[in-house]
Amino acid sequence: MNVVWHGKVDEEITVKDGELFIDSSARSVSAFVDTNAPECNLSVVKVPRDLMALPPSRLDRASELNLSVHSVYSGLLAQLLEQLDNGASSYRNADGPRLSQIAVDLLTAHVAHVADAEEVLPAETRQRELLVRCKVFIEQHLRDPLLTPSAVAKSQHISLRYLYLIFRQDEMTVAAWIRRRRLEGARRELSDPAMNSLRIHEIAGRWCFSGPSDFTRAFKSAFGTNPAEFRQLRQGHRH
C-alpha cells in the first residue's frame, strides 16, 4: 500500500505486508493499493491523542516522523490486532476495555520509541506493555508442556516475583491465565467439525492437560458444562 501525505510538497512512502503504519489525522493523507498486488487485509485503529500518555510536544514531533519504522512495540501491536481479528469469538465483553487499553499502551510506547521519548512513559504504561509481551510469549507456547511462570519470566529477563506483580493488573495469576488460554484453545477445537477425528482426551493432551479427569473438571469449572456435552451441543447446532 502506498501512502501520500498532502502539503506544500507531497510525500509518499510504501507500507509492506505485515508492517504497521501510524499517522496523525491532523494531516491530509491518501492511500492506494496496487491492483496487481495479492489480496490483503487492513486493520484500522483510531486513538484520541488525549488517551496517549505523552506530552503534546512529543506527539507533535512524532507526527512529523515516518512512523512506519519497526520497533518491538509495533510488532507486539500488530500481533495483538491480528489475534483480536482472528479470535474475536473467544473474548468476553468485559475484555474489551482491557484489550483497548493494551493497544493504546503499545501504540504509545511505539510512538515514544520512534520519537526518543521512552523515558517519559509512566511506569504503569511500561508495566502494561511488559504484560502484553508476556502474554504474547504465552500464546506462542501454549502447547509446550514446559510452559510455566518461570519460563515466562526467563523469556522477558525479569524475576518471577515481578512477573506475579504485573499480572495483578488482570486480577489473575500467571498459571491461571495459561490454563484459561489452553481451555479456550481446547474449546475451539471441540466446536470444530474438522477435529471430530480426535477424541476428547486427545484434544486435552494437545493442550497439555495431564489427563481426562483433570481436563473435564477444569473445563466444567470454566464453561459450566463438560467437554462431551459441549461438543455435542455446539456441533448439533450446525445441523
* Residue 9 pLDDT > 90: no
Domain boundary among 140, 171, 192: 140
186: domain CATH number is: 1.10.10
For the segment 31-40, the average pLDDT, to the nearest whole number, is: 65
* Residue 239 pLDDT > 50: no
Q: How many domains does the chain have?
A: 2
pTM for the model stands at 0.56
Domain boundary among 140, 170, 187: 140
Q: What is the mean pLDDT of the chain?
A: 79
For the segment 119-123, the average pLDDT, to the nearest whole number, is: 63
Domain boundary among 140, 169, 187: 140
The per-residue DSSP string of the chain comes to -EEEEESSS-EEEEPPTT------TTSEEEEE--TTSPP---------GGGSSS-HHHHHHHHTS-TT---HHHHHHHHHHHHHHHSGGGS-TTHHHHHHHHHHHHHHHHHHHHTT-GGGS-HHHHHHHHHHHHHHHHHHTTT-TT--HHHHHHHTT--HHHHHHHHGGGTS-HHHHHHHHHHHHHHHHHT-GGGTTS-HHHHHHHTT-S-HHHHHHHHHHHHSS-HHHHHHHHHHTT-
126 within domain boundaries: yes
110 within domain boundaries: yes
Range of the structural domain that residue 202 is part of: 179-236
31 within domain boundaries: no
Q: Domain check: are 200 and 134 in the same one?
A: no
